[in-house]
Structure 1
Amino acid sequence: MDILWASLASGTFAIVFNVRGRHIPLAALGGGLGWAVYQFSSTVVASSGVSYFLSSIGIALYAEIISGLFKRPATTYLVCALIPLVPGGGMYYTLAHSLQGDLQGTLSTGFETLTIAGAIAAGVAIGSAIARLSKRL
């Protein structure tokens, strides 16, 4: 059920980001795929950062493949599909701990949020690099 919600969130953001026609379901599919990889990897790997990393690699590879097939920029699919992975809750709780004066909570939640954001960024970079290298070969 979570995969369906991730797909719907990605599809909704595709509409907000002005994606048109048949590309909306493709962007939604990317979000569902990314969340499925995240859920599977979180059961196998103990670290949430690694799960986000693997999921963002999968999304980047998917976006590059679909962009090549439909002759559209990969960011059309990539940005929409990454929406379910964005650590918005972590950012909120970091700020909430900070406003309450809880330094330990701020630092621990902030570090975890930054780790997740860095894992997503690294996964996108590596996934896109793998896809572009494989196109050359």
Structure 2
Amino acid sequence: MSNSRNNLSRSARVSHCRLFASGPFKNVYAGHYTGGARAGEACVAKESKSGSVYEAAYFEEELTIICRTQQLIDDWHDAAIINKRILLNTPQIWIYRTTGTKAPVEPTFGPTGLGPDRICSFFYLRRRG
């Protein structure tokens, strides 16, 4: 049984009209997958507040942390340390076609409340090749 949720998609549309969530270092924007196995499902793009992050090392470190977290979750599951299933969203680093800015994109748990009539000013994303 997999303990991770992955993109499984080729493209997404992300709305910058409305902030989905915000933290100390990142803004999160909601969207939906437009291609691949998750087409039509909700996703989020997480963008750095300090401006565009271009250094590959930043994204490599972020993905390394997620990979290590996944290893811990898998180890807990295999050892039956907890009696609940934990799922980790595993993002991919995608690039905005319009700006070239990189952002982690991942599936969303649960509904986003983002209907087709509330979406505007889309930026298309493509997976980094």
* Structure index of larger Rg: 1
Kindly indicate whether structure 1 or structure 2 has the higher relative contact order, using CA contacts under 8 Å at least 6 residues apart: 2
User: What TM-score do the two structures reach when normalised by structure 1?
Assistant: 0.31
Question: Of Structure 1 and Structure 2, which has the larger fraction of its residues in strand?
Answer: 2
